[in-house]
Chain A
């Protein structure tokens, strides 16, 4: 296993278009997280899954954003009708739930979205 993989690494899209990102977590990890990181800021939590269930969504996740993890393995994050403010690095992380907490979360390299 080579860690958390994200695809694509870079995406340039025109305002108003839809985009979809994919995250493949570490295979035995049952938790998967999406974060957004804008320039000069730390990552901000968007949503997370335990297995296929989406357990929490941040208020940052507007109605234009949707995330899925259909079989409890890979996840997709879709942004509809993109806006320039959506330009950011989208990070995925995975971990193994242990009791109420997690083992260390491993991050992917991110997908950098530029909306023009």
Chain B
């Protein structure tokens, strides 16, 4: 069984401030982990993916996430928030490399305050 828990359904940050979106996972096998972003009325776009090659994963738009096995966490960070970062972010876990086994979290809506 696998699952992800995203802490905080809504997060607000000031423009220029650190963005931290939290994700904890549960998996019975070494996981693949993903972060996706969804803008209103749009599909999901992959921000980054962990595949065990490196614990610190750099993604698009300045985002990165660190895999911490001891904490079963995969938090998403960005040093300085931009207004364009306002969107909903989904953490996801897969027990294989395939998307048929992907389980998504419930999402975190990020608000960026000018």
Contacts and interface: CB of A to CB of B under 8 A. Distances in A.
Contact of B49 (A45, A104, A109, A112): A104
B44 interface: yes
Interface stretch (B14-22, B69-77, B98-106): B98-106
Given A107-B45, A110-B43, A48 B99 contact: yes
Interface residues of B, number: 22
Most buried by A among B41, B42, B102: B102
B96 A100 contact: yes
Contacts of A4: 43
Contact of B102 (A40, A45, A55, A109): A45
Interface of A, secondary structure class, is strand
Contacts of A42: 90, 92, 104-107
A97 B100 CA distance: 11
Contacts of B97: 98-102
Interface of A: 4, 31, 33, 40-45, 48, 55-56, 91, 93, 95, 97-102, 104-110, 112
6 contacts: A33-B100, A42-B92, A45-B103, A56-B100, A100-B98, A104-B46
Interface of B: 9, 41-46, 49, 90, 92, 96-107
